[in-house]
Structure 1
Amino acid sequence: MFAVGLIMAVPAAHAQQAERMTGLALSSDEPIQIESDLLKIDEEASKATFTGNVKVVQGETALQAGEMIVYYTKSGSGGSVASGAADIREIELFKKVLIQSGTQTATADAGNFNMADEVLVLTGEKVVLTDADNVFIGCKLTVLMKTGQATLDSCGGRVMIQLDPKSRPKK
């Protein structure tokens, strides 16, 4: 799935450009555990909808949302998501999103992960990223997974950042 990584801030007017988000990464070699109140698979539409208290765990990364829709492409001869023979194209997250990995946390109202382009977008009235005592607040976080570059947008307001000097790596 994905993990939230540390943002190193660089000043900008209405968006905050991040240097790199090295903790934000895909892991295709670890098993994924998904729990929800209901799972509805629509093989014709190649989509699986998880609703109600959705929890996803992969390695040290955990994700929670009220609803998660997984769009997939059937691989091989008639494979399905239920058999594990499908490639995930896109994941949509709704109804309060929480992603945790180690000391890092991100919260948002909704999220979208485009697997083909490796782009994660978290949106909401208030998107909050924390790493230890460092806090980043905006309304839209876009992460380009291939490069690790991230942008935190203010959506007309201002990006807010609180940095704790004690959280800097020791030299």
Structure 2
Amino acid sequence: MAKSPIFMSVAWLVLAAGLCFPASGALAQATESKMSGLALSNDEPIQIESDELKIDEETGKATFTGNVKVVQGEMTLQAGEMIVNYDKNGGSVSSGAADIREIELYEKVLIVSGTQTATADAGNFNMANEVLVLTGDKVVLTDADNVFIGCKLTVQMKDGQAKLDSCGGRVMIQLDPKSRPKQ
């Protein structure tokens, strides 16, 4: 993996808010959809704020704790804690460049972009596989008045393929017919 600024890697996670939710569906145990709104923005700056930042070059971890807020363009990510795991042999995170392996999110995750919102208890972004997973007792995705509820959302960032699991219960989808595009 090529070296990239640590904050650009966080952009992958933030851009998950660009999800295009399915236009139809019914109650099911899992819902799969193509989420074509996923893309990496290389041209917008990323701002990260938290109450505390600990960088451990020896273990290859940067831990942001307390009211973590990541902003890029119109997209915002909030969590109680964000851990960025990087290859300690691939560069220094304190210099602004590192090979990011994984980003972990804890303590109520919120991703907002325009009319779209995702909430979960935790999240994980595996950089090598380019897979985003949001989990919790209730993972809620909204797009305007459309609501999708499950317990695990898995997004393949390479192709935008996404799956919302119920984890033993049922996936719930509420669609507003007025939200369909006008033809």
Partner of 1:129: 141
- 1:139 partner letter: C
Measure, in 1, the Cα distance between the counterparts of 2:155 and 2:105. Answer: 15
2:172 to 160, 166, 170: 160
- 1:90 and 2:107 equivalent? no
TM-score by length of 2: 0.86
Measure, in 2, the Cα distance between the counterparts of 1:29 and 1:70. Answer: 21
Structure with a larger share of its residues in helix: 2
Secondary structure of the corresponding residue to residue 157 of structure 1: coil
Task: Report the RMSD for the aligned CA atoms in angstroms.
Answer: 1.6
Secondary structure of the corresponding residue to residue 3 of structure 1: helix
Measure, in 2, the Cα distance between the counterparts of 1:114 and 1:27. Answer: 18
1:138 to 145, 150, 163: 150
Partner of 1:73: 87
1:15 to 27, 30, 33: 30
Higher relative contact order (CA 8 A, sep 6+): 2
Partner of 2:16: 3
Listed one character per residue, the Cα deviations across residues 77-116 of structure 1 (whole Å, up to 9, x for unaligned) are xx31121121222100000000011110000000001112
- 1:119 and 2:131 equivalent? yes
Contact 2:47–2:71 (CA under 8 A) maintained in structure 1: yes
Listed one character per residue, the Cα deviations across residues 103-144 of structure 1 (whole Å, up to 9, x for unaligned) are 100000000011121110000000000000000000000000
- 1:55 and 2:69 equivalent? yes
Unaligned ranges ≥5, structure 1: none
1:33 to 47, 66, 89: 47
Contact 2:148–2:172 (CA under 8 A) maintained in structure 1: yes
Contact 1:74–1:85 (CA under 8 A) maintained in structure 2: no
Offset of 1:26 from its aligned partner? 2.5
Offset of 1:12 from its aligned partner? 7.6
Measure, in 2, the Cα distance between the counterparts of 1:35 and 1:55. Answer: 5
Q: How many residues are treated as equivalent by the alignment?
A: 168
TM-score by length of 1: 0.92
Spell out structure 1 runs of 4+ moving beyond 6 A.
Answer: none
Distance of aligned partners of 1:11 and 1:129 in 2 relative to their CA distance in 1, 3 Å threshold: same
